[in-house]
Amino acid sequence: MLKYILRRLGFILLTLFVIITVTFFLMRLAPGNPFTSEKRLPPEIEANLNAHYGLDQPLYKQYFDYLGKVVTWDFGPSIKYKGQSVNDLISDGFPVSLQLGLEAIVIALFFGVLLGVLAAIRQNQWVDYLSMSIAVIGISVPSFIIAALLQYVFAMKLDWFPVATWESFRHTILPAVALALAPLAYIARLTRSTMLEVLSNDYIKTAKSKGFNERIIIYRHALRNSLLPVVSYMGPLTANVITGSFVIEKIFGIPGLGAHFVQSITNRDYTVIMGVTSFYSIILLLSILMVDIIYGLIDPRIKVSAKEEV
Amino acid sequence: MKKRFSLLLVILLAASMILAACGDGKDNGDEGSGDSGKTEQYLRVNIKTEPFSLHPGLANDSTSGSVLRNTFEGLTRIGLNGEPENAMAEDIQVSEDGTVYTFTLRDAKWSNGDPVIAQDFEYAWKWALDPANESQYAYQLYYLKNGAAANEGKVSLDEVGVKAIDEKTLEVTLEQPTPYFLELTAFYTYLPVNSKIAEANPDWYKNAGEDYVSNGPFKMASWEHRTKIELVKNDQYWDKDNVKLEKIDMHMIDDENTELSMFQKGELDWAGAPFSALPTDAIPQLKKDGDLNIKPIAGVYWYKFNTEVEPFNNVKIRKAFSYAINRQAITDNILQAGQIPAMAAVPPSMFQENEDGYYKDNNLEEAKKLLQEGLEELGYKDVSELPTITISYNTSEAHQKIAQAIQDMWRKNLGVETELENEEWAVYIEKLHNGDFMIGRMGWLGDFNDPINFLELFREKDGGNNDTRWENAEFKQLLLDSQEERDPDVRMQMLKQAEEIFIDEMPVAPIYFYTNAWLQPDNLKDVAISGLGDVQLKWAYFE
């Protein structure tokens, strides 16, 4: 097991290196630079700024300098936000996105599994139709529409929640729900279909014929096996959701990480582009690893260590 | 196995409860202060984004400007009437040739009680010019003698034309006479910095705190990056009796629709310009409801012609294309926020008569005639022989709508087919600056309230913001001469003449002059919005 994890960590480092390298050169291929603006800077000022940020060096040198810094977890200063380092931006933004993301995951997981199970055990009844209608809406309606709708109904009309900003727990509920809806819908559909499959298995029939209570059959025997696909979906979902959503954070005025992914590119804020990309990659790779480990723990059919022999 | 899974659920549940508990604590505190906090003189605005920097010497964006103008004060300040008034300066003497200004400072204090001294100005200006400090707006100080040279590292900072004679007297020597210099001294790059603190703590400007001191009507109480800035009234301010607001919250919410919703729900006291902007889609309805405030500002939206490529190297073709645009239709149907059709380069806030401009909008007859003459001069038989003409703009809904409308007008009115090309902002700017375009949209917002600001863009062919590659000796000479002219009326006449040449040559087709559109409560008074569209809250109050 330990050997497996170590090997996976090795691959993660290798993947990270590739991601950083590709991002670095792709980013520098894009026209423009961090000092591009409608009101053009005098050339001497621009040259001075380029020298300060090391942008006047040959590209390969910049690349190796950058690699050297990343190894020590120093992403450098932000060019767009004067006086703040990329590490500051991440350590300010990540806790916000993390809290929002965890809330959304809890909502999505709880209601998603609940709807999915209800739909499966009451297949083709009104509960099923209702659950799946919710799921279809959740998947097909874009999050910015959901967000605007939630704002309109629950903040503007009913006045239960504030419209936006990030101050108290009450402020977090609407964005968390908006963020949760799409994964919730996906989880519900996933749970329903695997649950139906599991319920038709022989061992469930056996349990039924032995006269077990239906609730026990569902929870003890069926649910656990039907959750496996959900668990594997949780990996990328977690990575996505806890690093922030640009759309949701923008609409609700939340100072999370999400905005940096998009704005840093518009701004050509090189250091921030690199910083958030590396950070996101790390989170994504680690959560995939976590899922694989958890998978081995809950599904007796999969032995993580056995993979090595294949 | 089951145990492990339920353990996971328990952890998740526990985590959510902890989060809920944390949040609740905050929530209660918030509500507690919320009740007493919303006093009468408490203003909540949205400045949209994190300011680039709140160091006067580093700021280079309107967001930083909106904060600094309220926390700091320069030698002059643009008053409620739009004219520069003495602020930190009590008295200003100008030498006969207009190049030496002597400012006598009033008894004023920094928010920490330190006196504001002439050295603070000298320090701040030299700091911004010091190439080591990477000020992007250092060029705003190039009017000072040796300002540019010092910034380029050619001469030492000691040779820059700013000198504190004593604590109360500041002597400023300019490179050449600058008739609008007292407009500039109100600009944020010219604000002072508490030299005592800045020398002791070079990072003073990065966060709110003891070291972030200012000398304006308000001081910064807190600064949560990318979230909110809180300003409170500065009790040390020399003119504090005229400051009525006690507290200002400046939120940083990027989404314009959210801002509007918050305003409508009463969570903000201002929506729209100049702090932020109103969503374009909402403007027609707001206008119909009669809530919209509209004020013209010194800014122009224009289409630049690349005067080095065919067919726009021909002035008649340029004019034909410009005359064939129906600007009124664009402002009435697309923009809808009271924008003024532009048939001139300098905004009406500087030249009143430019509301009507130099030529007739949508002058199709003249356009067709000029097009025909232009085609002949270039040796084309008819429009079908013209090279493919491309209209470029950076990706944005409004730019696209305007480009489509103009494309349609040119097709109908001139029979010319054009292609539209949109690009991401930085890519677009680079192409424009490199001359890799035929017709490109651009805007210009005045830095200071003087027509030269709009005309000097086109003084040099290779000037950083010219883009059109157009140059004209007579135009250039008029601008240079106007700089030396001491009689303001004669000078304005010269600039007017220069503008006439410019419009006659038409290297750009002006489309419209910008306006600020916003919503505010009726009982909020005296928020000063200058002709440039800058906002000052010094005199603002709730009735």
List the CATH number of the domain containing B356: 3.10.105.10
Kindly state whether A169 is in contact with chain B, defined as any CB-CB distance less than 8 angstroms. Answer: yes
Q: Please, how many CA atoms are within 13 Å of residue B326, restricted to the half-sphere of its CB?
A: 17
In a domain, B224, yes or no: no
- Tell me how crowded residue A310 is: count the other CB atoms within 10 A of its CB: 4
What does the pLDDT read at residue A303?
A: 61
Task: Check whether B14 has a pLDDT greater than 60.
Answer: no
d(CA B515, CA B182): 25
Q: How many residues does chain B have?
A: 543
CATH no. for A91-269: 1.10.3720.10
> Mean pLDDT across chain A, nearest whole number?
88
d(CA A214, CA A208): 7
d(CA A290, CA A277): 20
Chain mean position to CA B504:
27
Kindly state whether A106 is in contact with chain B, defined as any CB-CB distance less than 8 angstroms. Answer: yes
Task: Check whether B264 has a pLDDT greater than 70.
Answer: yes
Report chain B's C-alpha Rg in angstroms. 26
In a domain, B313, yes or no: yes
What does the pLDDT read at residue B31?
A: 37
Q: Do the beta carbons of residue B57 and residue B70 sit within 8 Å? A: no
What does the pLDDT read at residue B33?
A: 39
Contact (CB<8Å) A250/B255? yes
Q: Do the beta carbons of residue A254 and residue A166 sit within 8 Å? A: yes
Q: What six digits make up the tokens of B114?
A: 């330190």
d(CA B69, CA B72): 6
**pLDDT tens figures, B385-394:** 999 999 999 9
Q: In A, residues 199-228, which contact B (CB 8 Å cutoff)? A: 220, 224, 227
What does the pLDDT read at residue A222?
A: 82
What does the pLDDT read at residue A304?
A: 55
Q: In the beta sheet, which residues pair with residue B144?
A: B174
Q: Which residues contact B431 (CB under 8 A, 6 or more apart)?
A: A31, B392, B423, B437, B440
Which residues in chain A have Cβ-Cβ distances shorter than 8 Å to B148? Answer: 42, 44
Cα dihedral B421/B426/B429/B434 (nearest 10): -100
What percent of chain A lies above the pLDDT cut of 70? 97
d(CA B508, CA B418): 17
Q: Do the beta carbons of residue B101 and residue B209 sit within 8 Å? A: no
**pLDDT tens figures, A257-308:** 999 999 999 889 999 999 999 999 999 999 989 888 887 777 767 665 544 4
Q: In the beta sheet, which residues pair with residue B261?
A: none
Q: Do the beta carbons of residue B128 and residue B135 sit within 8 Å? A: yes
b/e code A259-294 from CB counts within 10 Å (16+ = b): bbbebbbebbbbbbbbbbbbbbbbbbbbbbbebbeb
d(CA B354, CA A294): 72
Q: Which residues contact B444 (CB under 8 A, 6 or more apart)?
A: A38, B299, B300, B302, B454, B457, B465
What percent of chain B lies above the pLDDT cut of 70? 93
**How many structural domains are present in chain B?**
1
- Judged by DSSP in three states, B325 sits in coil
Residue of B nearest to A297 (CA): B1
What does the pLDDT read at residue B333?
A: 92
Contact (CB<8Å) B425/A167? no
In a domain, B491, yes or no: yes
Tell me what the mean pLDDT of segment A99-125 comes to.
92
What does residue B450 show for φ and ψ, rounded to 5 degrees?
A: -155, 135
Task: Check whether B12 has a pLDDT greater than 70.
Answer: no
Q: What is the pTM of this model?
A: 0.87
d(CA B459, CA A138): 57
Kindly state whether A27 is in contact with chain B, defined as any CB-CB distance less than 8 angstroms. Answer: no
**Segments forming the whole domain that contains residue B485:** 295-516
In a domain, B458, yes or no: yes
Q: Which residues contact B201 (CB under 8 A, 6 or more apart)?
A: B211
> Mean pLDDT across chain B, nearest whole number?
90
- Measure A307 CA to nearest chain B CA, in Å: 20
In a domain, B31, yes or no: no
Who among A42, A48, A151 is closest to B261 (CB)? A151
What percent of chain A lies above the pLDDT cut of 90? 50
Q: Report in angstroms the alpha-carbon separations of A146 from A251, B251, B262, B419, B490.
A: 11, 23, 17, 36, 60
d(CA A137, CA B328): 43
Residue of A nearest to B257 (CA): A251
Of A35-44, B127-136, B269-278, B364-373, the range with the lowest mean pLDDT is A35-44
Who among B19, B142, B251 is closest to A165 (CB)? B251
In a domain, B232, yes or no: no
- Measure A14 CA to nearest chain B CA, in Å: 30
Kindly state whether A43 is in contact with chain B, defined as any CB-CB distance less than 8 angstroms. Answer: yes
Q: Return the closest-CA partner of residue B523 out of B33, B38, B43.
A: B43
